[in-house]
Structure 1
Amino acid sequence: MSAPNDQTIIAGQPFGRRRLFFIAGPCVLESRDLALGVAERLAEVAHGLGAPLLFKSSFDKANRTSLGSFRGPGLDQGLRILEDVRRQSGLPVISDVHAPDQAAAAAQVLDVLQIPAFLCRQTDLLQAAGRTGKPVNVKKGQFVAPHDVGPLAQKVLETGNRDVWLTERGFSFGYNNLVVDMRGLAIMGQSGCPVVFDATHSVQLPSGQGGCSGGDRRFVATLARAAVAAGAHGVFMEVHPNPDQALCDGPNSLPLDQVEALMKQLLAIYELINGGEA
């Protein structure tokens, strides 16, 4: 079995183990205007900092706590919005796929396909995503130990796709809480895959508000800085212009106006840790 790629060029930008990169955007596609506004601001920030960045937003959140929670516009409309985002902002785009039959259609628009944490062991889904030939970002489930990510990656690699990323998003710690073991980033990195740290879902309190998840965004920056110092190759952040009004994951989302300052800090930490290679 061939080893995973350590670097992938997407839309002319490097994403992988050799340079810190970012994934950012609203949790879910609330509207075309919101998505475009956030993407255009993120593009400005990324260009100003010289940082590779993927725009992330979900066309469907199929794993919401409550049946009545907002899920998004769905596959067809969501992909049209993401296609507009890609064209108008110039940013590459990533979104979740929840079923094998979504993968081929999503790959027509997405630059990277993402596997949700709750579905990270679903063989048919992982292999359908792998067979598209697009990079696949597998979010490690809250129930999966860092040393058990190898088989997840292998399910994609078996398709001949070598562009596999692994994302840490916190481990279940009792009820309605998550904890991040920074040693896990190094352990996951032994797979050879680029390792991403999901700084906003890691401060989530799953089902912590009864019918929906809570969170504590005060610790997003703290954990993100620690993760980059511990060797993360990428940082994932859900961001929103007004998190308290967000239709999904507002409590753990970072305000859009705080993103640039945090990215500057993370790039500086990465440069320090890696001897000037940013």
Structure 2
Amino acid sequence: MIGFEESGVSFGAGRLAVIAGPCALEGLDHALMIGEACLRVCEDLGVGYVFKGSFDKANRTSKDSFRGPGMEEGLRILSEVHRRLGVPVLTDVHETHQVGAVAEAVQILQIPAFLCRQTDLVLAAAATGRVLNVKKAQFLAPEDMASVVDKCRSVGNRRVLLCERGSVFGYRQLVVDFRSFPIMRGLGCPVVFDATHSVQSMGGLGGRSGGDRRFVRPLLRCAASLGVDALFLEVHQDPDSAPSDGPNMVPLRLFRRLLEEAKGIWDRAMEDGFACLDWVDWP
């Protein structure tokens, strides 16, 4: 179990957690608006809440794509969100030189999918002792994440979450293989489902990524029925005008409805014993 006692957030302890926020940070007021709205919903539903936001979207289709406010301003925003809302905060790290400063500002470090095989980055992030959310690369089998987990544990960090965000299936398209959830849970880590990046179409709009947010809901329902430890959703009050990842982000006005539905499915799966992420002996 991985937990933050002061905020009531836990991963892998039989309680659902939600990681939600904008793709790229757009300023303190915007972050607080999104964070406060998500927190209210999570509190009403008895779900632990983690705010997420990126200070730099380094993995962009075009060099001209919006990347965020940068590290200095971004970390200031994230620190203030944590102080004002009292919730854990998550953000990405892309290079080893960023790790120290980012670990001082946030409670969860995220290793982006394309970088989960970067040994120096993974080791540096793990050595901070912070909780890590490591996204499975779109080109890796879930079993391959065992090596990532071993790297983290080699420096004494067992506080590792493994995140599914879809696998490449042909050009640009991602498909979620739900076998990956029990496989990655079998590595001894809580599992997270990133429902919004799983519907992304990488480079699908030419100079930027596309996506189809209509598929977030069915994928979210499937993951909830398995009893995943956490759900990851990028949300925005006006996704079609968002500077980053708009096509696959959830409109903020639908966040409560989606989460109520997913939480209801998750509760029934847990109560009825239908959640099946832990390995069982089948004949």
1:16 to 11, 18, 21: 11
Contact 1:197–1:232 under 8 Å retained in 2: yes
Secondary structure, aligned partner of 1:149: helix
Distance in 2 (alpha carbons) for counterparts of 1:191 and 1:37: 37
Distance in 2 (alpha carbons) for counterparts of 1:9 and 1:92: 8
Partner of 1:205: 201
Q: Does 1:226 align with 2:226?
A: no
Partner of 1:42: 38
Distance in 2 (alpha carbons) for counterparts of 1:274 and 1:211: 43
TM-score norm. by structure 2 comes to 0.93
2:68 to 66, 72, 96: 72
Contact 1:183–1:230 under 8 Å retained in 2: no
Deviation at 1:276, TM superposition (A): 7.0
Partner of 2:117: 121
Render the CA deviation track for 1:193-229: whole Å, top value 9, x for unaligned: 0000000000001111111110000010110110121
Distance in 1 (alpha carbons) for counterparts of 2:90 and 2:272: 29
Contact 2:161–2:190 under 8 Å retained in 1: yes
Distance in 2 (alpha carbons) for counterparts of 1:40 and 1:230: 28
Q: Count the aligned residue pairs.
A: 273
AA in 1 matched with 2:11: G
Partner of 1:268: 264
AA in 2 matched with 1:100: T
Contact 1:94–1:114 under 8 Å retained in 2: yes
Distance in 1 (alpha carbons) for counterparts of 2:66 and 2:16: 32
Secondary structure, aligned partner of 2:235: strand
Partner of 2:88: 92
Contact 1:199–1:236 under 8 Å retained in 2: yes
TM-score norm. by structure 1 comes to 0.95
Secondary structure, aligned partner of 1:275: helix
The percentage of aligned residue pairs carrying the same residue is 50
Deviation at 1:10, TM superposition (A): 5.1
For structure 1, the residue ranges without an aligned partner over 5 or more in a row are 1-5
Instruction: List, as ranges, runs of 4+ consecutive aligned residues in structure 1 with deviation greater than 4 Å.
Output: none
Partner of 2:276: none
After superposition, the Cα gap between the structure-2 partners of 1:10 and 1:76, relative to the gap in structure 1 and judged at 3 Å, is farther
Contact 2:163–2:191 under 8 Å retained in 1: yes
After superposition, the Cα gap between the structure-2 partners of 1:78 and 1:10, relative to the gap in structure 1 and judged at 3 Å, is farther
Deviation at 1:124, TM superposition (A): 0.7
Partner of 1:3: none
For structure 2, the residue ranges without an aligned partner over 5 or more in a row are 274-283
Partner of 1:52: 48
Taking the TM superposition and a 5 Å limit, the aligned residue runs for 1:239-258 are 239-258=235-254
Q: Does 1:175 align with 2:209?
A: no
Q: Does 1:32 align with 2:31?
A: no
Secondary structure, aligned partner of 1:44: helix
Contact 1:200–1:254 under 8 Å retained in 2: yes
Range with greater deviation from structure 2 (211-220 or 181-190):
181-190
Distance in 2 (alpha carbons) for counterparts of 1:233 and 1:27: 21
The Cα RMSD (Å) is 1.4
